[in-house]
Amino acid sequence: MLIEKYDVEVFTPPCDPGAERYAARARLNVDIFEVLAYLNATLRGAIYHPAAKALTWKKGGHNIAFHDYEIATSNVEDREMAVKELEGLIALVNRTWENRAQIVPSHDTRQRPTPMAILKLLPQTNCRQCGEPTCFNFALRLATAQKNLAACPSLSEPKYSNQLAALQEMVIDAPSMG
């Protein structure tokens, strides 16, 4: 296991005193910089910043940052959830490191796709089968890694195969945080 020991700190961000949202960080006893390229290859919507030794990711409305000796999350509803999320992120890093032989690391800094760029490739029928009121709402959720392409059944129709392939290039499915 890569990360075995860490210290957790949960706090209310100083820029938002009194807000009922929390931030948390885990200070690590090992350097995880090498794992960031593997996470970059597998986490949908992650942005890799090699010069800063960091990778940022947005999941479920939470802002997550992986650094060489630290993992942080913010905009979390309560303290308990913040700690639980950090534990899930640490498990994700350990799992990714253990599976690195099956992953081609990526050192590219990917631009997050805009909702409009995604919308252009969706069927644009506003059929609601994805649970969203419009294709644009679905595009917004895809852009922020809150939905998977599989949630749009229309995309599996043969006539959308080219669009689906382009979307799969644009957004990478995130593994479960377990």
156 binds ligand SF4 (CB under 6 A): no
Neighbouring C-beta atoms of residue 18, cutoff 10 Å:
5
DSSP 8-class letter at 34:
H
65 binds ligand SF4 (CB under 6 A): no
123 binds ligand SF4 (CB under 6 A): yes
Applying CB under 6 A, which part among 1-9, 81-89, 120-128, 161-169 lies near ligand SF4?
Answer: 120-128
Applying CB under 6 A, which part among 5-13, 74-82, 100-108, 118-126 lies near ligand SF4?
Answer: 118-126
Least Å distance, CB 62 to ligand SF4, is 24
Mind giving me the DSSP string for 36-96?
Answer: HHHHHHHSTT-EEEGGGTEEEEEETTEEEEEESSEEEEEEESSHHHHHHHHHHHHHHHHHH
Q: Which of 132, 140, 149, 174 binds ligand SF4 (CB under 6 A)?
A: 132
149 binds ligand SF4 (CB under 6 A): no
**C-alpha distances out from residue 4 to 26, 29, 30, 69, 136, Å:** 12, 8, 8, 13, 42
Q: State the residues that interact with ligand SF4 by CB under 6 A.
A: 122-123, 125-130, 132, 135, 138, 152, 154
